[in-house]
């Protein structure tokens, strides 16, 4: 589409056509020049010229001949998955994680570091160290850096306002990273990143509306409506459901209130609950997975849950209960057909998702409740990093 119908300059038209053609080849795979012309509405001459430009940049390659429709068989084109690399970071959990991805969201290299403290300077230095390690592992030109992080951010300005777990009150992270690495940098709220990743890399057919609940240090939701990320009006903070009070008899929360969802199903709360179980029952399924309480991670809790450790099952059903309360409220407002659970809880599996779904059924209008399905993310722990990668694919190449 030509924005606002205004006349494009030659360079803009070139870039517009390049993005259009690249998107068509990326999304359809094995496409010929004639397919490109047909799907884009460009003349065959222009389509071929644009394909040649993209081939010069290494973004398109010929992969052989397709079936003949009677005449000369067409040459098929694709976007080589490793034409560019990109970096996605996930700063949402107790472990800061990052990966070098190719253009299909496949991880080429991974790195991570335990979040040492919640002090601003320390956590920023940890992020820079993590990026230093990743940048050198990219074997192809880097498209940029995408950062998924918790809290309130301005993705346009690249400024983080309140990321409590990282100790950042206000930080021009976009500028800091851009100056250090000389690459395009995009910030995305973690749950919105997870939602973008689900929609870009793992959506089910005919699903164009969904809510993705990300359980990390905090709990938040990203919302896709009509195939578009709903950003909310203020600083991408549209869906901070973690600070909804779900019990009147809860613990104090970092936000100043108490009984927030975060204090029950956030990673710290779950790990604390698991450590208590371990202290009481070191011979349980959970106990057999670790050598001491410090080794307990969300992944080990999920494994113990899947192995039907009774105490961990009880912990899981409490989590599903409270997560279900928040999910029911979300569903009552949005009426989306699918709710996806991402982050550490994704590994709890279908039984856990079913328990959350059941909770929604018990708390919403019966004839609406039948239409929702809750599933766990198939992207596992990668959801936020892939979301950051999806932002780069959208903004730098225009392919998603």
Asked whether the CA dihedral 227, 232, 236, 239 is positive or negative, the reply is negative
Please, what is the minimum distance in Å from the beta carbon of residue 333 to Zn ion? 20
Q: Which residues bind Zn ion (CB under 5 A)?
A: 243, 253, 255, 257, 260
As measured in angstroms, the least distance from the Cβ of 247 to Zn ion is 12
Instruction: Count the Cβ atoms, other than its own, within 10 Å of residue 282.
Output: 13
Nearer to Zn ion, 197 or 260 (CB): 260
**Which residues make Cβ contacts (< 8 Å) with residue 188, sequence separation at least 6?**
146, 147, 148, 149, 153, 155, 196, 236, 387, 388, 391
SS3 88: strand
Nearest distance in Å: CB 250, Zn ion: 9
* CB contact set of 222 (below 8 Å; sequence gap of 6+): 189, 191, 192, 193, 194, 195, 196, 211, 212, 214, 229, 239, 387
Residue with tokens 């973008």: 196
Least separation in angstroms between residue 243's CB and Zn ion is 4
Instruction: Dig out the tokens for 178 from the structure.
Output: 């851009």
* Choice between 219 and 315, CB closer to Zn ion: 219
Cβ distance to Zn ion smaller for residue 260 or 379 = 260
- Taking the complex as a whole, the smallest distance from the CB of residue 253 to Zn ion amounts, in Å, to 3
Using CA atoms, how far apart are residues 249 and 51, in angstroms rounded to an integer? 63
Nearer to Zn ion, 207 or 255 (CB): 255
Q: Which is nearer to Zn ion, 88 or 250 (CB)?
A: 250
Question: Taking the complex as a whole, how short is the minimal distance between the CB of residue 249 and Zn ion, in angstroms?
Answer: 15
DSSP-based three-state secondary structure for 313:
helix
Nearer to Zn ion, 323 or 347 (CB): 323
- Distance (Å, whole) CA 192 – CA 387: 8
Kindly state the smallest distance separating residue 352's Cβ from Zn ion, in Å. 23
Count of CA atoms in the C-beta half-sphere (13 A) of 59: 22
Distance of alpha carbon 1 from alpha carbon 12, whole angstroms: 12
Give the residue with the Cβ less far from Zn ion, 198 or 240.
Answer: 240
């Amino acid at each position: 589409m030509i924005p606002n119908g205004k006349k494009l300059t030659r360079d803009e038209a070139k870039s517009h056509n390049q993005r259009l053609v690249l998107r068509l080849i990326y999304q359809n795979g094995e496409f010929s020049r004639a397919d490109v012309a047909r799907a884009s509405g460009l003349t065959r001459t222009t389509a071929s010229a644009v394909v040649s430009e993209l081939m010069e940049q290494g973004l398109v390659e010929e992969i052989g001949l397709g079936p003949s429709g009677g005449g000369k068989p067409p040459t098929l084109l694709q976007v080589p998955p490793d034409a560019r690399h990109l970096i996605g970071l996930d700063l949402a959990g107790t472990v800061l994680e990052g990966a070098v991805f190719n253009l299909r969201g496949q991880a080429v290299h991974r790195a991570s570091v335990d979040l040492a403290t919640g002090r601003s300077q320390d956590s920023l230095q940890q992020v820079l160290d993590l990026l230093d390690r990743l940048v050198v592992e990219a074997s192809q030109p880097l498209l940029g850096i995408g950062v998924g992080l918790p809290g309130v951010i301005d993705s346009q300005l690249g400024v983080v306002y309140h990321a409590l777990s990282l100790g950042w009150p206000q930080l021009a992270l976009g500028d800091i990273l851009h100056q250090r690495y000389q690459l395009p940098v995009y910030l995305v709220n973690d749950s919105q990143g997870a939602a973008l990743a689900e929609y870009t890399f793992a959506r089910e057919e005919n699903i164009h509306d969904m809510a993705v609940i990300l359980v990390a240090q905090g709990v938040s939701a990203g919302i896709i409506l009509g195939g578009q990320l709903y950003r909310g009006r203020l600083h991408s903070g549209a869906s901070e459901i973690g600070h909804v009070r779900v019990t009147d008899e809860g613990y104090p929360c970092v936000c100043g209130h108490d009984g927030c969802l975060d204090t029950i199903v956030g990673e710290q709360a779950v790990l604390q609950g698991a450590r208590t179980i371990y202290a009481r029952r070191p011979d349980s399924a959970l106990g057999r997975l670790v050598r001491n309480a410090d080794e307990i991670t969300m992944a080990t809790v999920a494994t113990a849950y899947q192995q039907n450790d009774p105490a961990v099952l009880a912990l899981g059903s409490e989590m599903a209960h409270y997560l279900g309360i928040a999910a029911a409220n979300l569903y009552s407002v949005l009426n989306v057909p699918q709710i996806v659970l991402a982050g550490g809880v994704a590994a709890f599996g279908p039984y856990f998702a079913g328990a959350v779904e059941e909770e929604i059924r018990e708390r919403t209008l019966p004839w609406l409740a039948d239409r929702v399905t809750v599933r766990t993310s198939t992207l596992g722990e990668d959801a936020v990093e892939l979301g950051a990668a999806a932002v780069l694919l959208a903004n730098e190449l225009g392919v998603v």
